[in-house]
Amino acid sequence: MYTGGPLDRAGDRRRNDAAVAELLSHPKARVAPVWRDRNLVEPGESPRAGWLTGEAAVTVTLHASVQVFLGLWEDAPYFAVDLSHHEEHALPDLVNGASFEDLRQVGRLLAADEATILAYARGMTHWHRRQKYCSDCGSPTEPRDSGHVQACTNADCGRSHFPRTDPAVIMLVTHVGADGIDRCLLGWSTRWDFPMYSTLAGFVEPGESLEEAVAREVQEESGIRVTDVTYRGSQPWPFPASLMLGFRARGLNDDITVDPTEIREARWFSRADLAQFGEYYGETDPNRPRLPRTDSISRRLINDWIDEGD
């Protein structure tokens, strides 16, 4: 989820203000409003992205604090706009009665193409709200290049600031025990009140490779030493601004010592164990262990391992 998006990001057009203005007035232009990190969604059994077109798109753009040209899809220009400076009671008049929802809750229910574009819109508007001042001189910044740059307004500085993405490693560690059974290491984070077990993860630190980050994070959080670190894929995760880099690794020991500030509990689970887990959504038993959300790379890493069989 959130990968393989259909957009041509059309980076060559971003600096042409006249061309972007023409795209915004295009009859097929679609605008994706974001309000305080929530995306506009049309509700229903099969929710859809809440694109605004025509007069509604023009109106909402006039009331936005920033607009970002996202790209082109099937000859239609796509834009994101931020309405976060408006109070909630003013929103219905701007968005034709659709609702703003947390993409982490509804993304799995949307068409994959739509979810990918909404994630892009969310990440860009989040960055704009937090990049209002130059980190070098403290002067205000202003958007340039169709919302893909924030430029310092101080002529003596003039630094350009670009959207931030923080690399984070996320890894499934496996180990074959003395009984010959292959197991994977999953942890219950202190962030979760219910028993949701996920792969371990952490941010890459300055001066280390991705493989070194995998080994360090696993040992810090669980006391497990690893080898054979292999890359498995990536997923943009704009919640708020991460790129998740997925790995598989092999544990060299099986005695677990958790970091209690981050992990409530970590355990080795066999494929048979995981078959008894519930889903992240819809589980009624508060004590039943759950697997991560189906839209996460954590779940993909787990599912890939399950599918390989014993």
Question: Average pLDDT for residues 124-142, to the nearest whole number?
Answer: 96
Same domain, 98 and 138: no
Query: Do the Cβ atoms of 298 and 170 come closer than 8 Å?
Result: yes
Interatomic CA distance for residues 259 and 249, integer angstroms: 19
Tokens of 221: 């959080």
Q: Same domain, yes or no, for 242 and 254?
A: yes
Do 201 and 91 sit in the same domain of this protein? Answer: no
What pLDDT does residue 296 have? 94
Q: Over 80: is that where the pLDDT of 59 sits?
A: yes
* Structure confidence by residue, pLDDT tens digits, 9-46: 999 999 999 999 999 999 999 999 999 999 999 887 78
What is the CA angle 184-185-189, rounded to 5? 140
Structural domain contains residue 22: yes
**Mind giving me the DSSP string for 255-300?**
-----TTTEEEEEEEEHHHHTT-B-SSS---TTS-BPPPTTSHHHH
Tell me the backbone φ, ψ of residue 90, rounded to 5 degrees: -90, -10
SS3 breakdown of the chain: % helix, strand, coil, rounded to 5?
25, 35, 40
| 190 and 269 housed in the same domain | yes
- In whole angstroms, give the CA distance from residue 41 to residue 7: 19
* Structural domain boundaries, residue 107: 11-130
pLDDT of residue 310 exceeding 80 = no
| Per-residue confidence band for 91, with pLDDT thresholds at 50, 70 and 90 | confident
Q: Where are the alpha helices (DSSP H) in the chain?
A: 17-24, 54-62, 92-95, 103-106, 112-130, 210-222, 271-274, 297-308
CATH number at residue 190: 3.90.79.10
Residue 90 confidence (pLDDT): 81
- 158 with 86, same domain? no
pTM of the model: 0.90
Domain annotation covers residue 110: yes
